[in-house]
Structure 1
Amino acid sequence: MSTHTVSSSAHTARTSVQIVSGIFGAVFLLVGILGFVPGITKDLDTMMFAGHHSQAALLGIFQVSVLHNIVHLLFGIVGLLGLKSRRLAKTYLIVGGIIYAVLWIYGLVVPMESMGNFVPLNTADNWLHFVLAAAMITTGIVFGRKAHTAPQR
């Protein structure tokens, strides 16, 4: 039988999965904000709440709408909350990755000009969602396995 002694510094140290969750969260939050910024988002004046008719494009590449930006903001907030809990961080990365995998498949199946493309999605969004799904699931599994803590600075 072994005992587990935890020092007070271990309570303040974050695990690798928490740091990765925080990084994803910060990026999603930034993307959600930038989706509303003229110049960063091309054709911002055409942005709709939802649907494929929104011609606004983040960085001139990724089609966005108000709903799309709100989803990014929410993903960002939850990712940042993962900094507080290893379990939440791991769940966020894996479940978030699964959501992005479903969104990737959805984007491949639903015609871009149909009413079903309510997010809206274009080819660049679809491939980004694939990369996000793979990255989030992989990091959630790999970094979520062990509770190694990152050194505090």
Structure 2
Amino acid sequence: MARDVRGRAPAGPRPRIKAVAAAVAAVFALIGVLGFVPGITTHYDELTFAGHHSGAKLLGLFQVSVLHNALHLLFGLVGLAMARRVVGARLFLAGGGALYLALWLYGFAIDREATANFIPVNDAGNWLHLALGFGMLCLGLLLSNDVGTGGRPDTPIDRP
């Protein structure tokens, strides 16, 4: 493959996994911001920093708190940074999917009225975590762009 003066491969189409990871990350960042918008978040005056006492609900369904919104925003921003490389995009999607599946299990294991429910998690959020976890994990593993098939995930800096 021809290389430029710096030894990099010529720019081509963006790998699908990077584009999908960036889109998923952008949605998470957007959801994090929308959680702070009155009207989109119902009962905004009941928004607490953390815990199950927050009465605010994103889109009237998903119980949120300041911490919950901040975590979505941070997760989205980290995902945008990771989506710049194929390896990072795959790790964001597959690792984030596994994380959300663990959060789904956590939502079933805890007492919703206990202090352990600090994010907070309600039934709608718990089912959303299942869908996100499964979807992200599948995307991270299936949209591989030859990663794991003997091809190199990214061109290392130290090799021509």
Work out the CA distance in 2 between the residues paired with 1:25 and 1:65: 20
The alpha-carbon deviation at position 114 of structure 1 amounts to: 1.2
Instruction: Point out where structure 2 has 5 or more consecutive residues left out of the alignment.
Output: 4-8, 148-160
Work out the CA distance in 2 between the residues paired with 1:90 and 1:83: 8
Higher relative contact order (CA 8 A, sep 6+): 1
1:15 is aligned to 2:11:
no
1:134 is aligned to 2:134:
yes
The alpha-carbon deviation at position 80 of structure 1 amounts to: 1.3
The alpha-carbon deviation at position 129 of structure 1 amounts to: 0.2
Cα deviation per residue 1:52-105 (whole Å; 9 max; x = unaligned)? Answer: 000100000000001100110011112211331111100011111111011000
The alpha-carbon deviation at position 8 of structure 1 amounts to: 1.5
Give 2:123's aligned residue.
123
Contact 1:14 1:83 in 2 (8 A): no
Aligned length: 142
Work out the CA distance in 2 between the residues paired with 1:145 and 1:134: 19
In our comparison, the structure showing a higher alpha carbon Rg is 2
Give 2:144's aligned residue.
144
Q: What are the residue-to-residue correspondences of 1:95-114 with 2, within 5 Å?
A: 95-114=95-114
Give 1:81's aligned residue.
81
SS of the residue 1:33 aligns to: helix
Read off the aligned partner of 2:137 and give its amino acid letter: I
Identity of aligned residues (%): 45
Work out the CA distance in 1 between the residues paired with 2:18 and 2:55: 35
- Per the normalisation by structure 1, the TM-score is 0.88
**Aligned alpha-carbon RMSD (Å):** 1.3
Instruction: Point out where structure 1 has 5 or more consecutive residues left out of the alignment.
Output: 148-153
Give 1:150's aligned residue.
none
Read off the aligned partner of 1:106 and give its amino acid letter: Y
